[in-house]
Chain A
Amino acid sequence: METLKEILAPDFLLRNSVYTSVLIGFACPLVGVFLVLRRLVFMGVALPQISSTGVAVALSVPMWLGAKPDHAEHSEHLIAFAGSMFFSLAAIFLLALAERRGRGLPEGRLGTAYVVASAASILLLAKNRYAEVGWLDLLKGEIITIDNYDLGLTAVTFAVVLTLLVLFHKEFLFVSFDRAMAATLGKNVLLWDILIYLLIGATVSISVLSVGPLISFGFLLIPALTAHLFARNMKWFFILASVIGGAVAFFGFWLAYQWDWPVGPTDVVLLGVVYLLAAVVKSFWRWFVHPK
């Protein structure tokens, strides 16, 4: 309990990391719900990895141009965000376009994108002499080095994403559930698809910058999959997924701080444990309490 009090104290040294972690925990599952419903789980795996390759490319550009890396102020973080966002959106649009054409094997495309992005990140790191200066940590998602600016950028991005999700929830759901009906009622299905992919891209990009691809993937999908076991309607699906994500992010940080574990992997393992327990409870409920 002493650790918990320490974490909750306003002058806690790593408070920005706690806030960022919880923000990601709350926000990622909200867009993750749409990845699950649209059966784009593999995109949830590939996208953070591609996004992190975007970070690597963006931060390698100055080196390729012969310029010294600028670690001052927040230019490095902004460049990384731009690269992450560009790669995320480019990947989303290319993959969505291929899906729309309905040819080939979607899983094959996503698997290839994932493995090529992973390999490209390693190659870029291997050839960048500035890697050790600091952005290797950024790429891995070093959650303990988050300053006020990074926290602000994360909070603003998620506030925008959340606002748009609430405002256009009805349209996003309609075009996801029944595209044909939406089109016959005059909805611009392509426009709504683009907007939802933009929100997914922005969320993935900002979370990859803060916590890295592995943890982003965990928060995108596992809370949504867990919530789906119990959700009776869409409203509770969103609320439950977000609450699970936020709560696990907080308790994961607490555990990691208490036992001196790395925060990101602790969060993901905890998400996995919660999913497993939820599945057991659901099965128990179905078999013994309310058998059909």
Chain B
Amino acid sequence: MPDNIITLDRLAIGYDGQAVLSGISLAVARGSFTAILGANGTGKSTLLKTLLGLQPPVSGEIKFPSPTNAKPIFGYVPQAIQFDPLYPLTGFDVALMGTYGRVGAMTFPSHAEKEFVHECLTATAADGFAKKKFSQLSGGQKQRVLIARALATKPDILVLDEPTAGVDVTATQALLEFISQIHVERKFTVLLVTHDLPLVKKHAQQIIWLHNGQVLHGSVAELFTPERRAEIFEMEIS
């Protein structure tokens, strides 16, 4: 029996009861690195929001198989460009939010929690600019702070929504290398939404490919055959 962390059973996702994608049945293996691919508007973000519990499924079920049946902790890394620059928050303030799931209302993060956040920032090589305003950091620096925040949640699954959007090529390469490295070191399950096919091929083990209302799921070797790749490139160009 494979050890799955997420199982989707005839899942339909969409908005206001209208399905964008339906009949999704697949499983994500614990500790795997899975990339979610697809052109704009194919339902990548909708799938991600549904998995995270931010919006209800239209029909079907999402199961999180575990001995306790508890929902796993998601370390969510959104796109850095979505944050309002009005907030005078430092990189450390943003990363500290990762502990708020454990720190209840009317209490403040302890010294130990703050130390742990510093460790997360060091792990993502973000400690050097953690005291700077988050809004003044570069795209790559912001993503490192956001990954540190996700690590601070002590996650079971690291979920990254196009983390390289707005990040230059060099930083993108470094960022994916880093995500791949922490995946190996910390044995997280990683779910990565991206458009970057070469990087997916290099780092991901599994692919969920959304295309023309269909959801294909398989290993990189299965889905990256020359025929399928031609199809993907055609999709990306169109």
Contact = CB atoms under 8 A, between A and B. Distances in A.
Interface residues of B, number: 27
Identify whether the interface residues of A are mostly helix, strand, loop, or mixed.
Answer: helix
A234 B54 contact: no
Contact of A36 (B86, B100, B149): B86
Given A180-B54, A181-B76, A184-B74, A228 B88 contact: yes
Identify whether the interface residues of B are mostly helix, strand, loop, or mixed.
Answer: loop
Given A37-B87, A39-B84, A177-B97, A183 B53 contact: yes
A163 B78 CA distance: 32
B199 interface: no
- Chain A interface residue bracket vs B: 20 to 34
Interface stretch (A46-54, A128-136, A165-173): A165-173
A39 B86 contact: yes
A167 B93 CA distance: 17
Contacts of A176: 87
Interface in A174-220: 174, 176-178, 180-187
Contacts of A187: 100-101
B212 to A, nearest CB: 27
A237 B106 contact: no
B133 interface: yes
B54 A178 contact: no
A233 interface: yes
B46 interface: no
Interface in B85-100: 86-90, 93-94, 97, 100
Interface string B62-91: 000000000001101010000110111110
A195 to B, nearest CB: 10
B44 to A, nearest CB: 15
Contacts of B143: none
Contact of A178 (B53, B86, B88, B97): B97
A167 B74 CA distance: 26
Contact of A233 (B84, B89, B100, B101): B89
A184 B76 contact: yes
B97 A181 contact: yes
B90 A233 contact: yes
A232 interface: yes
Contact of B52 (A167, A184, A236): A184
A152 B106 CA distance: 26
B86 A170 contact: no
23 contacts: A37-B84, A39-B84, A168-B106, A171-B100, A177-B83, A177-B94, A177-B97, A178-B78, A178-B97, A180-B52, A180-B54, A180-B76, A183-B54, A185-B73, A185-B153, A187-B101, A228-B86, A231-B88, A232-B88, A232-B133, A233-B89, A236-B88, A237-B88
Given A170-B105, A177-B94, 6 more contacts: A37-B87, A168-B106, A170-B103, A228-B88, A233-B93, A234-B88
Nearest 6 A-B pairs (CB), nearest first? A185-B101, A231-B88, A184-B74, A167-B106, A184-B76, A184-B52
